[in-house]
Structure 1
């Protein structure tokens, strides 16, 4: 079952690997958190990366932390070297969990294995908004504006 508004940030355990540094739930609390699930084969994920960069530039100075979770949709996407190459190609510098066993996906209730899938948590670790698929970025844009009204 997907997380509902107000649900606590799940533990970030179960990743098969991390790139750009590992994080824990506890290390993120105290700041708003945006977690985005993406996949190598997802063209929407790639198309939304410039928007994600804009959010980081706009809201990062106000404390937003961004965590990427690579969730493979196909067997060949479990190759960590391919994920590393994509991180470099698309300039993804945020901590990135490699979720080859879909344990993080399960913890977030992403039963449909949707990508992109965005989860926005407040500084207390409570879910404020989530969005999946083509319209996900639009959903998150409004939620970010409400969470950071001074921006």
Structure 2
């Protein structure tokens, strides 16, 4: 990463828009930071990983959001505006029903994403044959991350074998109301969102939830 990009990431950190490096858990986005009305409400990320959020609600607020989310039986939104699919033909959420689905928002130069990839690829290796479908939605932060060849190089480097849709226009990102890299959304076999997590960490909890949903 060149000096200009490093300075930009530091500048974002100082503004409170993002955090990278030691002690950080997620990169906040400048693009798509205003959630649309259909955005998915976060159910577990702030509670399980407080350092991942730019602001931390109090316990009563977290409980209220969690209870509201559980009651709404939210479905995973469909993929939108995907310019290209890597490792797969185009897929839809509807086609994925019957599987446990893990949606992973990432971008390859984000250090927080790089640190989570060994866990995500391990879950693919362990559970794909049991019904887990991982979709790694690649939404870029910088211009060079929009290049499909650069994404392919990163996928080869990290051993990513699951489908990766390229979301260069941030349309799927916005459909999910997402604001962070990395961010995981986990749905049951009926397509109901049951768990999500922002940033690094909570790997054991995430894997246990995957195992429970697989039965």
Bin the TM-score by the shorter chain: 0.7 to 0.9
Structure 1 CA distance for aligned equivalents of residues 142 and 202 of structure 2: 22
String of CA shifts for 1:43-97, please: whole Å, max 9, x gaps: 1211222211221233222201111111101122111211111112212111111
Q: Which protein shows a greater Rg?
A: 2
For 1:41-80, what aligned pairs fall within 5 Å after superposition? 41-80=109-148
Cα gap change, 1:50 to 1:34, in 2 (>3 Å): same
Greater fraction helix? 2
Unaligned stretches of 5+ residues in structure 1: none
1:139: how far off? 4.6
Q: 2:83 is matched with which residue?
A: 16
Which protein has greater RCO, CA pairs closer than 8 Å, 6+ apart? 1
Runs of 4+ in 1 over 6 A off after TM superposition: none
Q: Equivalences for 1:1-150 in 2 at 5 Å?
A: 1=35, 2-4=39-41, 5=69, 6-21=73-88, 22-110=90-178, 112=179, 114-135=180-201, 137-149=203-215
Question: Given that residues 121 and 128 in structure 1 are in contact (C-alpha distance below 8 angstroms), is that contact kept between their aligned partners in structure 2?
Answer: yes
Give the structure-1-normalised TM-score.
0.87
RMSD: 1.7
Unaligned 5+ segments in structure 2 are 1-34, 42-68
So what's the TM-score if we normalise by structure 2? 0.63
Aligned residues: 147
